[in-house]
Chains A and B, each alone.
Chain A
Amino acid sequence: MTSGGYRGKILKVNLTDRTINVETPDENFYRLYYGGRALIAHYLLKEMKPGADPLGPDNVLVFATGPLTGGPFAGSGRNSVGARSPLTGAYGDGEAGGYWGAELKRAGYDAIVIHGQAAEPVYLWIKDDQVQIREASHLWGKKTADVEEAIKNELDEKGVRITQCGLAGENLVRYACVVNDLTHFAGRSGMGAVMGSKRLRAIAVRGTEPVPMADAAAVRELGRWLSQNVQDLAGGMRDLGTTGTVMSLNISGGLPTHNFRDGHFAGAEKITGETMRDTILKDRDTCFACPIFCKRVVETDEPYRVDPIYGGPEYETLAALGSLCGVDDLGAVCKAAELCNAYGLDTISTGVSIAFAMECFEAGLLEAKDTEGKSLHFGNSQALVELVEQITRQEGLGALLARGVKAAAEDIGPEAIALAMHVKGQEIPMHEPRLKHGLGLGYAVSPTGADHCHNLHDTAYTKAGGALKDIHPLGILEPIPADDLSLDKVRLYKQVTNWRTFSNCSVQCYFVPWKPHQTLALIQGMTGWNASLLELVQVGERAVNLTRCFNLREGFTAADDYLPERFCEAFTSGPLEGVAIDREALENARIAFYRMSGWDDDGVPSREKLYDLGLGWLAEDMAN
Chain B
Amino acid sequence: MKVKVKVYGTLLTYVAEQKEEHELEVAEPVTAGELLKHLGIPEEEVWLLSVGKRQVSTSYEVTEGEELSIFPPVTGG
Chain A positions near chain B (C-beta within 8 angstroms): 231-237, 240, 242, 244-245, 247-253, 315-316, 429-431, 452-453, 455, 457, 459-460, 462-467, 500, 509-511, 575
Closest to B42 in A: A465
* Cβ–Cβ contact A511 & B77, under 8 A: yes
- A262 and B69 CA atoms in complex are apart in Å by 23
Closest to B7 in A: A236
* Cβ–Cβ contact A248 & B77, under 8 A: no
* Cβ–Cβ contact B53 & A245, under 8 A: no
Closest to A451 in B: B76
Closest to B51 in A: A251
- A511 and B77 CA atoms in complex are apart in Å by 7
Among B11, B55, B77, the residue within 8 A (CB) of A251 is B55
Q: Which residues of B contact A236 (CB under 8 A)?
A: 8-12, 72
Known contacts A232-B13, A248-B8; decide if A510 and B77 are in contact (CB<8 Å). yes
Among B10, B18, B47, the residue within 8 A (CB) of A462 is B47
Known contacts A236-B12, A459-B47; decide if A248 and B74 are in contact (CB<8 Å). yes
- A17 and B40 CA atoms in complex are apart in Å by 66
* Cβ–Cβ contact A231 & B18, under 8 A: yes
* Cβ–Cβ contact B44 & A460, under 8 A: no
- A200 and B76 CA atoms in complex are apart in Å by 31
Among B13, B48, B50, B55, the residue within 8 A (CB) of A235 is B13
Closest 8 CB pairs of A and B: A510-B77, A236-B9, A248-B71, A465-B44, A457-B75, A463-B44, A460-B73, A452-B76
- A588 and B67 CA atoms in complex are apart in Å by 42
Chain B residues 37-55 with CB under 8 Å of chain A are 42-48, 50, 53-55
* Cβ–Cβ contact A244 & B8, under 8 A: yes
Chain B residues 1-55 with CB under 8 Å of chain A are 8-13, 18, 42-48, 50, 53-55
Known contacts A235-B18, A248-B48; decide if A240 and B9 are in contact (CB<8 Å). yes
CB of A347 to closest CB in B, whole Å: 14
Q: Which residues of B contact A462 (CB under 8 A)?
A: 47, 73
* Cβ–Cβ contact B55 & A455, under 8 A: no
Chain B positions near chain A (C-beta within 8 angstroms): 8-13, 18, 42-48, 50, 53-55, 69, 71-77
Q: Which residues of A contact B8 (CB under 8 A)?
A: 236, 244, 247-248
Q: Which residues of B contact A464 (CB under 8 A)?
A: 44
Q: Which residues of A contact B12 (CB under 8 A)?
A: 235-236
The residue among B9, B53, B73 with the most chain A CB atoms within 10 A of its own CB is: B73
A-B contacts, 21 of them at CB < 8 A, read: A235-B12, A235-B18, A236-B9, A240-B9, A242-B76, A242-B77, A248-B48, A248-B50, A251-B69, A452-B76, A452-B77, A453-B77, A457-B76, A459-B47, A459-B74, A460-B73, A463-B46, A465-B46, A467-B73, A500-B77, A511-B77
- A510 and B76 CA atoms in complex are apart in Å by 8
Q: Which residues of B contact A316 (CB under 8 A)?
A: 76
Among A234, A466, A511, the residue within 8 A (CB) of B45 is A466
- Assuming A235-B12, A500-B77, what are 15 further A-B pairs, CB within 8 angstroms? A231-B18, A236-B12, A237-B9, A240-B9, A242-B76, A247-B71, A248-B47, A250-B53, A251-B50, A253-B55, A430-B76, A452-B76, A459-B47, A460-B75, A463-B43
Closest to A268 in B: B53
- A452 and B76 CA atoms in complex are apart in Å by 6
Q: Which residues of B contact A457 (CB under 8 A)?
A: 73-76
Q: Which residues of A contact B76 (CB under 8 A)?
A: 242, 315-316, 429-431, 452-453, 455, 457
Among A244, A245, A252, A465, the residue within 8 A (CB) of B55 is A252
- A357 and B44 CA atoms in complex are apart in Å by 41
Q: Which residues of A contact B73 (CB under 8 A)?
A: 457, 459-460, 462, 465, 467
Among B10, B11, B42, B48, the residue within 8 A (CB) of A252 is B48
Closest to B70 in A: A248
CB of A227 to closest CB in B, whole Å: 16
Q: Which residues of B contact A575 (CB under 8 A)?
A: 54-55
Q: Which residues of B contact A315 (CB under 8 A)?
A: 76
CB of B60 to closest CB in A, whole Å: 13
